[in-house]
Amino acid sequence: MRTLLTNIHLLCQVEGENEARHIVAGKAMAILPFVENAWLLIENDLIHSYGTMQDIPVIAADKTIDASGRLVLPSWCDSHTHLVFAASRDQEFVDRIKGLSYEDIARRGGGILNSAAKLNAISEDELYAQSYHRLLQLISQGTGAIEIKSGYGLSVEGELKMLRVIRKLKENIAIPIKATLLAAHAYPIDYKEDHDGYLNLIINQLLPIVATEGLADYMDVFCEKGFFSVSETDRLLEAGWKYGLKPKIHANQLYYSGGVQAGIRNNAVSVDHLECVGEEEIAALKSGNTIPTLLPAAAFFLGIQYQPARKIIDAGLPVCLASDYNPGSCPSGNIPLLLTIACTQLKMTPEEAINAVTLNGAAAMELANSHGTIKKGKKANLIITRKMSSFAQIPYDFGNNPVEKMILNGKIT
């Protein structure tokens, strides 16, 4: 099956056949390579070739789509979500408006523990149905690869239930899904005073099952004051490595908690959140290959300080952006809105922000060989936008969905 897109106004984030960009960093993030007035040929599920309309060869295609006035981009790669959850936490949203902080709510048993109680009370089928619906909504907004975490089970059965739901999503939805074990998201009530007991449960009971059933790709820990300490994080990540789970961790959201350094020390694929980043964190990031992943939609929703994206990029580092979709700190996985927040609040240019959710998002899920750019041989997971004149219009026209059509595995959805 060959599908040809013609008259594309801007074909964005293109890569030549002999290029191998696995991530973009520093000044290079300001460049989003594009072809104006382009064609693109898809063969089965892969990108076959592209070029300019002036030089279009004779192409036999089964289907031709006229993309006049539209942009075509690689679909978004959202490398940090908690999309599998049981219920809304809108009451906590109202409590925060009235003055309580995220930590106040967590201390009185709300927050993650509230989500855990709700998740343990519903069936796997119900959890799957809700999560499936959410994922379809994200796809309609341009997401074409995603990472999903556990972390609202906080018990062996609850965490396995979440990971099995993620596995079922993988089986039924045609985009790459990476699964992350986040049992260390909060201490469950029964283990509030027995941290060792919970760490032992994760390491000795949960991890072996997760590994045997192949239920997770990564291991996450909420490394933060009041949640998991640096030494607890080290212990958990070392245990994860023994089972082949690479770390991707929550770090430095609320405090300068040493989480960034812990992630780098444990060869994390990424350290995520990073509201609190100073010179020491920058120096540590420069010493390794761990990807700084910023989640500004969560900072927006919680009304806390934003991540210093400029400082990180200007230090020559890459920045990845991800949604953090979850019922507490960010009940939205809308990437176009995330791009607006990144541009207006973090002062990232549209080029930098789009690089951060395409190629760098793919890199943060170890998918850069197959996703994140428009390159011969990569997966044809693509966005065709509405009519628009420039890629700045995606973050500019905020609140509106830029996506007109999604192509997944070469098929128009």
Binding site for Fe ion (CB under 5 A): 324
Q: Is 312 exposed, middle or buried (0-12, 13-18, 19+ CB in 10 A)?
A: buried
Per the document, the length of the chain is: 413
Give the number of other Cβ atoms within 10 Å of residue 51's Cβ.
15
Contact between residue 405 and residue 413 where contact means Cβ atoms under 8 Å apart: yes
Q: Quick one: 110 or 142, whose CB is closer to ligand NIG?
A: 110
Tokens of 329: 């700190």
Q: Report if residue 328 touches ligand NIG, rule: CB under 6 A.
A: yes
Q: Report if residue 250 touches ligand NIG, rule: CB under 6 A.
A: yes
Q: Report if residue 155 touches ligand NIG, rule: CB under 6 A.
A: no
Residue 3's SS3 state is strand
Q: Quick one: 40 or 298, whose CB is closer to ligand NIG?
A: 298
Residue 398's SS3 state is coil
Q: Report if residue 111 touches ligand NIG, rule: CB under 6 A.
A: yes
Minimum CB–partner distance for residue 171 and ligand NIG (Å): 26
Minimum CB–partner distance for residue 382 and ligand NIG (Å): 29
Binding partner selected for residue 352 from Fe ion, ligand NIG, none, CB under the kind-specific 5 to 8 Å limit: none
Contact between residue 274 and residue 284 where contact means Cβ atoms under 8 Å apart: no
Q: Report if residue 127 touches ligand NIG, rule: CB under 6 A.
A: no
Minimum CB–partner distance for residue 49 and Fe ion (Å): 38
Minimum CB–partner distance for residue 83 and ligand NIG (Å): 12
Q: How far apart are CA 169 and CA 207, in angstroms?
A: 21
Binding partner selected for residue 360 from ligand NIG, Fe ion, none, CB under the kind-specific 5 to 8 Å limit: none
Q: Quick one: 232 or 324, whose CB is closer to Fe ion?
A: 324
Q: Where does this chain touch ligand NIG (CB under 6 A) — which range of 42-50, 196-204, 319-327, 396-404? A: 319-327
Show contacts with ligand NIG in window 222-241 (CB under 6 A): 222
Q: Is 23 exposed, middle or buried (0-12, 13-18, 19+ CB in 10 A)?
A: buried
Q: Where does this chain touch ligand NIG (CB under 6 A) — which range of 69-77, 206-214, 327-335, 367-375? A: 327-335
Alpha helix segments (H runs only) across 153-194 = 156-172
Give the torsion sign (CA, 171, 173, 179, 183): negative
Q: Where does this chain touch ligand NIG (CB under 6 A) — which range of 8-16, 111-119, 120-128, 190-198? A: 111-119
The residue sitting closest to Fe ion, measured at its beta carbon, is 324
Minimum CB–partner distance for residue 337 and ligand NIG (Å): 16
Of the candidates 131, 143, 257, 329, which one interacts with ligand NIG according to CB under 6 A?
329
Compute how many residues bind ligand NIG; rule: CB under 6 A: 12
Give the number of other Cβ atoms within 10 Å of residue 16's Cβ.
11
CA-based Rg of the chain, rounded to a whole angstrom?
A: 21
Q: Where does this chain touch ligand NIG (CB under 6 A) — which range of 127-135, 190-198, 236-244, 323-331? A: 323-331
Q: How far apart are CA 197 and CA 175, in angstroms?
A: 37
Residues 6+ apart with CB under 8 A from 232: 184, 195, 199, 221
Binding partner selected for residue 161 from ligand NIG, Fe ion, none, CB under the kind-specific 5 to 8 Å limit: none
Minimum CB–partner distance for residue 387 and ligand NIG (Å): 35
The number of helices, as runs of H, and strands, as runs of E, in the chain is: 16, 16
Tokens of 322: 């991800």
Residue numbers of the site for ligand NIG (CB under 6 A)?
A: 111-112, 115, 222, 250, 253, 298, 324, 326-329
